[in-house]
Amino acid sequence: MSQTVDRALSILPLLAEGPASLEQVATRLDVHKSTALRLLRTLHDHGLVYRQQDQRYRLGARLFALAQQAVEALDIRGIAHPHLAALNERTGHTVHLAVYEQGEVVYIDKVESRYPVRMYSRIGRPVAITVAAVAKLLLADLPEPERRAVAEGLDYPRYTPRSTPDAGAFLAELARVREQGWASDLGGHEESINCVGAPLHGPDGRVCAAMSVSAPNVVVTAEELLRLRPQILRTAEAIGAELSGAAPAAHHPATKGAT
């Protein structure tokens, strides 16, 4: 692995937190100022980093453009979206789509609730990996050694009393999820929010993404939400079928095609 590039790339997550000065970057990277400057300049030349008038650095327009292209390149998203929208239409609740990539679970799509109730997460933010239904689904499908390695490398923040407490409990939960083919999170992240999720199987049979329906219990109780399970599973299967090349059932015009 290339040390120079490694350092340069380490700057990006750092700047994602907020603007930082040259000195701050140098300190956090543990390199000399002049080194940090050179790296930042290179990033700047590529437009990944932006320099504001106060000379501090932020992420730049190019990075946003690339990010946009990155999600658009994910076929799953384009294929799944109409299905997710339809599910949202029928249930009225917020629907999420997430993928797993190298130890991270990332939301890549979301269809908002019709209810004008604020939902906790925005797409893109790394998921609360130890509790979210989608995270459980994605991790549950990993081969056993990797699953354990990931589980043991995680923090287990106690968002609520119902949050997953530790690696042991998490692995047990993953086993259950794997077994039953769906997952739920009942107030494990935010006390009043529940969600139910299902896995999306790719052509190779492995779980390539996960979806979930979330709602605060001021709108529906956990029991009512869980009653949507069959519908969610059916949607997940429909998406999976289409991913595997099955003809898309003639729903709405499935415009947003992927190639």
Q: Residues interacting with DNA, by CB under 7 A?
A: 2-5, 7, 21-23, 31-35, 37-39, 55-56, 252-253, 256
Q: With CB cut-offs between 5 and 8 Å by kind, which of a second copy, DNA, none does residue 220 bind?
A: none
Closer Cβ to DNA, 21 or 192, answer by number: 21
Using rule CB under 8 A, residue 172 touches a second copy: no
- The C-alpha atoms of residue 38 and residue 57 are separated, in whole angstroms, by 13
Count of residues in contact with a second copy, rule CB under 8 A: 86
Closer Cβ to DNA, 2 or 69, answer by number: 2
For residue 183, which of 165, 167, 202, 170 has the smallest C-alpha distance?
170
- Convert residues 218-257 into a mask of x (bound to a second copy by CB under 8 A) and - (unbound): ------------------------x-xxxx-x-x------
Please count the other Cβ atoms lying within 10 Å of the Cβ belonging to residue 187: 19
Please count the other Cβ atoms lying within 10 Å of the Cβ belonging to residue 76: 22
Stretch that binds a second copy, among 25-33, 118-126, 155-163, 174-182 (CB under 8 A): 118-126
94-101 β-sheet, strand order: 104-111, 94-101, 207-216, 193-201, 183-186
Using rule CB under 8 A, residue 155 touches a second copy: no
- The C-alpha atoms of residue 213 and residue 197 are separated, in whole angstroms, by 6
